[in-house]
Amino acid sequence: GENVEQHPSTLSVQEGDSAVIKCTYSDSASNYFPWYKQELGKRPQLIIDIRSNVGEKKDQRIAVTLNKTAKHFSLHITETQPEDSAVYFCAARDSGGYQKVTFGTGTKLQVIP
């Protein structure tokens, strides 16, 4: 099955700096890569996603890049703000018909004011 590794497990940045979270996946047939943000005590919520036919996608201060050859994808947050503090999960969905998604183990991002 799919295996997703995520690094780092914790990340502290100063407000206004950029944050980068990296993930690798094992199944070359995976075709959809969502990123979820989970605030303390809340449910995970999708913040951005990318499909395998696209190399980069941007939405305001967040962007995701995908390197299919290396089986690697990354989340970039620019101009970080205290409200960006949360746990971020990357995920990969396999190509099977059941929409199964495998999650990374999460990155706890702390933005220091």
Partner 1 sequence: DAGITQSPRYKITETGRQVTLMCHQTWSHSYMFWYRQDLGHGLRLIYYSAAADITDKGEVPDGYVVSRSKTENFPLTLESATRSQTSVYFCASSEASNEQFFGPGTRLTVL
Binding site for partner 1 (CB under 8 A): 1, 6, 32, 34, 42-46, 49, 89, 97-106
Q: Which is nearer to partner 1, 77 or 104 (CB)?
A: 104
Between CA 1 and CA 42, with CA 22 as vertex, the angle to 5 degrees is 80
How many CB atoms lie under 10 A from the CB of residue 106? 18
Closest approach of partner 1 to the CB of residue 29, in Å:
15
Cβ-based nearer residue to partner 1, 17 or 100: 100
Our CB check for partner 1 shows the closer of 19 and 89 to be 89
Q: Which residues contact 10 (CB under 8 A, 6 or more apart)?
A: 107, 108, 109, 110
